[in-house]
Structure 1
Amino acid sequence: MDSSYEQELTVVFEAIQVATAISRTVLQFLHPSSDAGPAPAAPADPELAALRTSLQVLKDDNTFVTAADLAIQAVLLRVLSVAFPTHRLVAEESAAQLRADPALLAIVTSLAVTHSRASAFVWAHGGGDVAAHVMRLFDRAAAPQPATSALDPTWVIDPIDGTAAFMRGEHYAINVAHLCDSRQILSVVALPLLSPTTTTPITDADTAPASGGTLVFAVRGYGAHVAPLGSPSESRALPRHADAVPLAGLASVTCYGTLKSGYDGMHAAVAAKLAMPFPGTNLLGWVPRWAALALGLGNTTVWVYRRRDRYAKVWDHAGAMLLFEEVGGMVTDVDGRDIDLSPGRLLNANFGFVAAPRSVHHHVLAAVKTLLQEQGRAGFPAK
């Protein structure tokens, strides 16, 4: 890809290889009988007990975080803070678990440093106490931001999207997004268990670890691209398959029956109303879903939250939505508004998502609104 963001892409491509290696090491420990793909050796014996205790840490929002999430976030924050020291950083995980659990902090720093040795720039700058530096980076990426900071160049990180699926050895993603003036500019997504040649609908369990994984990336205005995860230079441009699609060509991407936050019946009802096969591609993580839409494993998704005060999280969507937009897709909320990334960590200016080929997005949106009215929930999406 020939764009003015070559430096940013080069930095993220290298960092995401380190991140992937960390995820594979932990995945091999979780599932030693499976082939998680090429990875460095598992941690030494003295570290195994600490790693074992770090695999299922429950957070305040009743979701899980693992040592892989935390170590990947540490590496990505370190790389980006060195390469772009004046840029704002936003990342999913806080330092709360690290402060509460010294054993977890030790294994996270060990994973981060060990896997970074092939990329000397990661920890070579500055030296000092790596654990303390990790904590400072996490605090920086979790700090409240003034309203004016939405205009600043910003990196948004989701170290592992689909952590619950990851712990089962199923599809997960690593998401790095770059924003300027709250607009998606650059997206890099790693899918370590997806074959780059996959062309048919998939579920979380349809993994291909031996393939080496898939890298999907985009720069606004330059299209979306796919490559083998370990070889970004072998990328090819994705066709703009979502520019002009007839209603009969709609294909679903969803997360059906696995999350309590969504109004499950809505996507199924929309599919029935539009004669769209359902569930089609069915994945837990939002980032894998956006990537699947870009890759043509589907072209339509609908998400209506059960509660009006339930908001999406920026790291699940920023950048990853750009992948679909760059192949012709259109993304709005249930009210038909553009997705506003300026609020910060929570997208509290929007409610839910409607993503579809640009040519028929209005039909899908109308189906959602009609069904809400028919089900006596017409006032539900309105503020």
Structure 2
Amino acid sequence: MSTIPLSDHPLHRSLDTAIPAIQAAARLSRLVLQQNDKGTISKEDHSPVTVADFAIQALLTASIHAIFPSDKFVGEESANALRTNPRLIERVWGLLQVVGKDGGNIVVPESQEHMCELIDWCGKGAPDDMDRTWILDPIDGTKTFVRGEMYAINMALLENGVPVLSVVALPLLSIDAQTPVNNDTRDPKGEDGGCILFAINGHGTFVRPLSNKNIQPRRIPRHCDAITSLSDLKSVTCVSDLDSGIDSIHTMVAQQLGIQNFPGCDLLGWVPRWAALALGLGNTTVWVYKDRGRKAKIWDHAGAVLLFEETGGKVTDVDGRELDWAAGRKLSGNYGFVAAPKAVHGNVLQVVWEVLRREGKGGFLGEIDQKVDV
């Protein structure tokens, strides 16, 4: 692992741009949390989106573009719904004006049309293996956010198709959180609480308070390096709150691995799950999609996976393949996830295969062309 001081690292300027931007995004999200009406609408895929999603995506894009005008962007939302909803666009614009008064390094769009244009840079963007590309998820866990529960704001920087920087804000998670954390976990410090995790490829994962206080970030130990036995595995997953995975398979894998207190940390959002793994609140997650045609969305994982990897974790898909971050807006070349400490990742993967084979769920390794029987 590199011992270069953060202030001397080539990505220092990118990190210094991302942190105040994500702090402002967190403040904006809290403004929306205080409102009964969060401006929630349903997208074409029936997933929810709020005024916070639109405003944060515009805020992060504007702030980064002001410093790095050649960088590209990929994000979850497009501005289609805003352009046809005058009331919604006014609410989003109003939130940006409030946060923009904070000044500092924060940049807000110049007009409502500029705001929509910035959002569409993300909503129509796709990563490749050539350019610096920022991957943004303005609210990861929108369903829980609407309920006032755990959510995250995700920023990741890819260079040559590889995540090199991750910055994640968790406004409801304490910097000193203890396992297990769940969707309804709340930092007792309230608006003075929350944390930011960030990781630099080859340089480690760090955690710091979400607030603007000038506190040195704390390097998270490479806790996964100490795990050499399956008996030390602790789970992070989502149970019964998502219909994309096979809960019974996840439970059987945990039982065969001997994981105690399954499910452990039970979190709907993927970014909070990766953060919990990085913080050592767990060290293992397995996700088998019901359908091999189901593909993960890049903004739910890019960068956030790096948080765990920089603490000694290894992440592949269910087939044992490395994750292809340059495949597009979805991880089209990968199926599901298997994450565990490096020393035992192969053992965990083998158990996953054994359970899938025993339960008649084909479509992995030599059976890739078979249809998954669900």
Structure 2 counterpart SS, 1:243: helix
- Aligned partner of 2:160 in structure 1 is 181
Instruction: Give the aligned residue type for 2:256.
Output: K
Deviation per CA, 1:194-253: give whole Å up to 9, x if none.
Answer: 110113211111111525101110111110001111146431100000123121100000
Q: How does 1:146-225 map to 2 (within 5 A)?
A: 149-208=128-187, 210=190, 211-225=192-206
Distance in 1 between the 2:216 and 2:355 partners? 44
Instruction: Give the aligned residue type for 2:218.
Output: R
Deviation at 1:119? 2.4
Distance in 2 between the 1:374 and 1:150 partners? 38
Normalising by the residue count of structure 2, what TM-score does the alignment of the two structures yield?
A: 0.92
Deviation per CA, 1:86-112: give whole Å up to 9, x if none.
Answer: 011111111111012111111101101
- Aligned partner of 1:326 in structure 2 is 310
Is the CA contact 1:244–1:358 (under 8 Å) kept in the aligned structure 2? no
Instruction: Give the aligned residue type for 1:138.
Output: I
Distance in 1 between the 2:97 and 2:12 partners? 26
Residue 76 (structure 2) pairs with residue 92 (structure 1): yes
Gaps of 5+ in 1: 31-51
Deviation per CA, 1:113-162: give whole Å up to 9, x if none.
Answer: 211211255447xx75x1010111122222255x8x43111100000000
Distance in 1 between the 2:104 and 2:349 partners? 49
Distance in 2 between the 1:203 and 1:140 partners? 33
Is the CA contact 1:150–1:344 (under 8 Å) kept in the aligned structure 2? no
Residue 257 (structure 2) pairs with residue 274 (structure 1): yes
Q: 98, 101, 104: which one pairs with 2:88?
A: 104
- Aligned partner of 1:35 in structure 2 is none
Deviation at 1:55? 2.4
Q: 11, 15, 18: which one pairs with 2:21?
A: 15
Is the CA contact 2:74–2:125 (under 8 Å) kept in the aligned structure 1? no
Is the CA contact 1:158–1:176 (under 8 Å) kept in the aligned structure 2? yes
Gaps of 5+ in 2: 1-5, 370-374
Deviation at 1:59? 0.6
Query: Measured at CA, do residues 311 and 232 of structure 1 come closer, stay the same or move farther in structure 2, by a change above 3 Å?
Result: farther
Structure 1 counterpart SS, 2:94: helix
Distance in 2 between the 1:235 and 1:95 partners? 35
Is the CA contact 1:150–1:182 (under 8 Å) kept in the aligned structure 2? yes
- Aligned partner of 1:253 in structure 2 is 236
Structure 2 counterpart SS, 1:156: strand
Structure 2 counterpart SS, 1:234: coil
Distance in 1 between the 2:242 and 2:80 partners? 25
Distance in 1 between the 2:304 and 2:311 partners? 12
- Aligned partner of 2:372 in structure 1 is none
Distance in 2 between the 1:108 and 1:344 partners? 28
Distance in 1 between the 2:16 and 2:265 partners? 31
Q: 203, 207, 211: which one pairs with 1:226?
A: 207
Instruction: Tell me the C-alpha RMSD between the 2 structures.
Output: 1.6
Distance in 1 between the 2:161 and 2:220 partners? 25
Distance in 1 between the 2:10 and 2:93 partners? 34
Q: How does 1:1-383 map to 2 (within 5 A)?
A: 1-2=6-7, 3-30=9-36, 52=37, 55-123=39-107, 128=110, 130-143=111-124, 145=126, 149-208=128-187, 210=190, 211-230=192-211, 231=213, 233-245=215-227, 246-277=229-260, 278-379=262-363, 382-383=368-369
- Aligned partner of 1:49 in structure 2 is none
Distance in 2 between the 1:263 and 1:233 partners? 42
Deviation at 1:82? 1.1
Deviation per CA, 1:158-201: give whole Å up to 9, x if none.
Answer: 00000110111111000000000111100000000011011321
Deviation per CA, 1:308-351: give whole Å up to 9, x if none.
Answer: 11000000000000000000000000000000001121110000
Count, aligned residues: 356
Is the CA contact 1:263–1:305 (under 8 Å) kept in the aligned structure 2? yes
Distance in 2 between the 1:175 and 1:242 partners? 23
Is the CA contact 2:21–2:105 (under 8 Å) kept in the aligned structure 1? no
Instruction: Give the aligned residue type for 1:286.
Output: W
- Aligned partner of 2:3 in structure 1 is none
Query: Measured at CA, do residues 195 and 135 of structure 1 come closer, stay the same or move farther in structure 2, by a change above 3 Å?
Result: same
Distance in 2 between the 1:373 and 1:28 partners? 48
Runs of 4+ in 1 over 3 A off after TM superposition: 120-124
Distance in 2 between the 1:55 and 1:137 partners? 20
Deviation per CA, 1:42-94: give whole Å up to 9, x if none.
Answer: xxxxxxxxxx3x52200111110001111111100111111111011111111
Query: Measured at CA, do residues 214 and 122 of structure 1 come closer, stay the same or move farther in structure 2, by a change above 3 Å?
Result: closer
- Aligned partner of 1:39 in structure 2 is none
Distance in 2 between the 1:5 and 1:233 partners? 20
Query: Measured at CA, do residues 120 and 236 of structure 1 come closer, stay the same or move farther in structure 2, by a change above 3 Å?
Result: closer
Is the CA contact 1:214–1:227 (under 8 Å) kept in the aligned structure 2? yes
Instruction: Give the aligned residue type for 1:21.
Output: R
Deviation per CA, 1:280-329: give whole Å up to 9, x if none.
Answer: 00000000000000000100000011111100000000000000000000
